[in-house]
Amino acid sequence: MVQKDVILKGDCIERLKSLPDGCADLVFADPPYNLQLGGDLTRPDQSQVDGVTDAWDQFSSFKAYDAFCEQWLAEARRILKPNGAIWVIGSYHNIFRLGTIIQDLGYWIQNDVVWVKTNPMPNFRGTRFTNAHETLIWAGRDPKSRLTFNYHSLKAGNEDIQMRSDWTFPLCTGGERLKRNGRKTHPTQKPEALLHRILTATTEPGDLVVDPFFGTGTTGAGAKKLGRHYIGIERDKTYATEAEKRLAAIIPGAQEDIDPLPSPRKQPRVAFGQLIERGLLSPGTKLYCSKKRHVAQIKADGSLRAETMQGSIHKVGASVQNTASCNGWTFWHYEEAGKLAPIDSLRSVIRQQMN
């Protein structure tokens, strides 16, 4: 039995090897970017940009970096459940190399997502475009993996508009940024908003999320708030200590507040005929469109009869509108106490009885 909600201190590859096969629902990885800078990067005021010379981002060559990434990505794939997935974030320095390795190892890329930063660091040297985005890769363990994707929750939270693959968030600043002695605790701390979207979109409450490069615990913070479990791996003792303090102060959300919007695809199938069988609607009852422009009559076998044809709720709905298709559950309404209600509301009654 794998221990959850813990930080494993040490080398990410060795610690990943200690985890059992198929234990994780999701891996989120923010690996070293291998910035390949030959020296310090300074701002116009001569202050140094954080993270440029940190030892954990130093690799002797592309070959050495690729070998490191192949090892941890292979272990990450091993610990994923058959329907598990991985998210990897990077910049132009490393994301293309990561993408190649991900595909070579047998993962199946689902999307790439662009994180557009509202407050990117300026290009101080004036030699190239300002780097105002980072790229994320979302991939399944293999081509057959059936990934969690809370499409309806995302759409509802986005004012009934499909969520796009370009996400706009600011860098981690202000009170969210962890500091020690007035300095940033971690140079590349990610905003919790980014992890909130990833976790609400591609995990369920109770899922286990593994982060091999835990840093100061942003993945764990998001997981704990959303009722997910986490395992963080971090070799830097200072980062791990700060993450532990951060996580200890978080109170998990209530179950009713974190459950995703149910997906119709995950609901038990209910046929229209079951409404007649259970007496929720009777043969001979008339159904209407929402404006009563079209009418049909229920038959005992669960089909509908209209002037144009007889058939299923979907085919008759399409026929009366002269359209190629129709969702009969939302198109047809029954009348009760002088008011119209969609027949889909009766399907919900049966589903509640089935749960």
Burial of 301 (0-12, 13-18, 19+ CB in 10 A): exposed
Which pTM was predicted? 0.77
Q: How far is CA 344 from CA 10, 175, 327, 333, in A?
A: 53, 46, 10, 8
Check residue 159 and report its DSSP letter: T
Side chain identity at 84, as an amino acid letter? G
Give the span between the Cα atoms of 186 and 238, in whole angstroms. Answer: 9
Measured CA to CA, the distance from residue 318 to residue 256 in angstroms comes to: 38
Q: At what angle do helices 218-225 and 237-248 cross, to 10 degrees?
A: 20
Instruction: Give 167's strand partners.
Output: 115
Using alpha carbons only, give the angle 267, 146, 154 rounded to the nearest 5 degrees.
60
Rounded distance, CA 102 to CA 107, Å? Answer: 6
Q: What is the pLDDT of residue 351?
A: 81
Cβ neighbours around 141 below 10 Å, total: 25
CB 317 within 8 A of CB 332: yes
Query: What whole-number distance in Å separates Cα of residue 250 and Cα of residue 252?
Result: 6
Which residue in 186, 191, 198, 166 sits closest to 176, CA to CA? 191
What is residue 166's predicted lDDT score, i.e. its pLDDT? Answer: 97
DSSP string, 263-303: PGGGSPP--HHHHHHTTSS-TT-EEE-TTSS-EEEE-TTS-
Strand partners, 310: 305
- How far apart are alpha carbons 146 and 82 in whole angstroms? 8
pLDDT digit string (tens) for the chain, length 355 residues: 899 999 999 999 999 999 999 999 999 999 998 876 555 444 455 555 455 556 655 788 899 999 999 999 999 999 999 999 999 999 999 999 999 999 999 999 999 999 999 999 888 778 889 999 999 999 999 999 999 999 999 999 999 999 999 999 999 888 888 888 888 888 889 999 999 999 999 999 999 999 999 999 999 999 999 999 999 999 999 999 999 999 999 999 999 899 888 776 677 788 999 999 999 999 999 999 999 999 999 999 999 999 889 999 999 999 999 999 999 999 999 999 999 999 999 988 888 777 5
Q: How far apart are CA 286 and CA 27, in angstroms?
A: 52
Whole-number Å distance between alpha carbons of 52 and 41 = 7
Residue 132 CA to its chain's centroid (Å): 22
The per-residue pLDDT for 123 is: 81
Q: What is the DSSP letter of 324?
A: S
Alpha-helical segments (H) within the chain: 12-17, 62-79, 95-104, 151-157, 192-202, 218-225, 237-248, 255-258, 272-277, 313-321, 328-331, 344-354
Which residues on adjacent β-strands are paired with residue 305?
297, 310
Task: Report yes or no: 50 and 184 within 8 Å, Cβ to Cβ.
Answer: yes
How many other CB atoms are there within 10 angstroms of residue 279's CB atom? 7
